[in-house]
Amino acid sequence: MCAARSTRIAERVSDVLGVPRDVALDLPRLSLEGNVRLVLENHKGIIEFSTDRLRVQTTAGQVSIVGRRLVLRGINRERIVVEGRFDNLEFLGWEVS
Amino acid sequence: MAVSSLWEWVRGYVIIKVTGRMLEKFVNMAAARRIGLHDVTTLGPGMMLARVSIDDYRQLGPILRACGCWATVDQRVGAPFVLSGLARRKFLLFGLMIFVILLSVMSSVLWTIDIIGADAEQEGMIRQVLYDMGITRWTPLSSVDCDDIRSEITKSVQGLAWVGAETQGTGLVLRVAGKVLPDAPAAPIDLIASEDSVIVRLIVLAGLPHVREGQTVAAGQVLVSGQEPTGEGGSVVHARAIVEGRVWREARAKVPLIVEQRVRTGRKAIQYRIVCGSIDLNLGRAGGFGAYDTKEYRRDLGPGVELIRIERHEIAVTTTRISRGEAYVLARASAEESIRGRLRGDAEILSVTENVSDEAVMGDAVEVVLIMETVEDIGIAKERL
**CATH class label, B112-178:** alpha beta
Equal CATH topology for B3-83 and B112-178: no
* Position A15 pLDDT exceeds 90: no
Query: Which domains are assigned to chain A?
Result: 27-92 (2.60.40.2000)
Question: With an 8 Å Cβ cutoff, are A77 and B34 in contact?
Answer: yes
* Position B231 pLDDT exceeds 80: no
**CATH class label, B3-83:** alpha beta
B interface with A, Cβ–Cβ < 8 A, is: 23-24, 27-28, 30-32, 34, 36-42, 45, 48
Rounded to a whole number of angstroms, the distance from the CA of A56 to the nearest CA of chain B is: 10
Q: Which among B316, B352, B346, B314 is positioned nearest to B333, based on CA atoms?
A: B352
Question: With an 8 Å Cβ cutoff, are A76 and B36 in contact?
Answer: yes
* A86-89 contacts at long range (C-beta below 8 A, 24 or more positions apart): A86/A35, A86/A36, A86/A38, A87/A35, A88/A64, A89/A32, A89/A38, A89/A63, A89/A64, A89/A65
Question: Which residues of A are less than 8 Å from B45 in CB distance?
Answer: 50
A interface with B, Cβ–Cβ < 8 A, is: 45-51, 70-77
Query: What digits encode the pLDDT tens for the residues B65-119?
Result: 999 999 999 999 999 999 888 888 889 889 999 999 999 999 999 999 999 998 8
Look at A21-30, B130-139, B169-178 and tell me which has the smallest mean pLDDT: A21-30
Query: Which residue of A41, A50, A77 to mutate against B (max B Cβ within 10 Å)?
Result: A50
β-bridge partners, B252: B369
Asked casually if ipTM beats, i.e. exceeds, 0.95, the reply is: no
Question: With an 8 Å Cβ cutoff, are B36 and A74 in contact?
Answer: yes
Residues in chain A, overall count: 97
Q: How confident is the model at residue B184 (pLDDT cuts 50, 70, 90)?
A: low
From the list B27, B34, B41, the residue facing A46 with the nearest CB is B27
Question: Which residues of B are less than 8 Å from A46 in CB distance?
Answer: 24, 27-28
**Which chain A residue has its CA at the smallest distance from B52's CA?**
A74
Report d(CA A13, CA B138) in Å as an integer. 88
Domain ranges across chain B = 3-83, 112-178, 261-318
Query: What digits encode the pLDDT tens for the residues A47-96?
Result: 999 999 999 999 888 999 999 999 999 999 889 999 999 999 999 988 65
Question: With an 8 Å Cβ cutoff, are A71 and B39 in contact?
Answer: yes
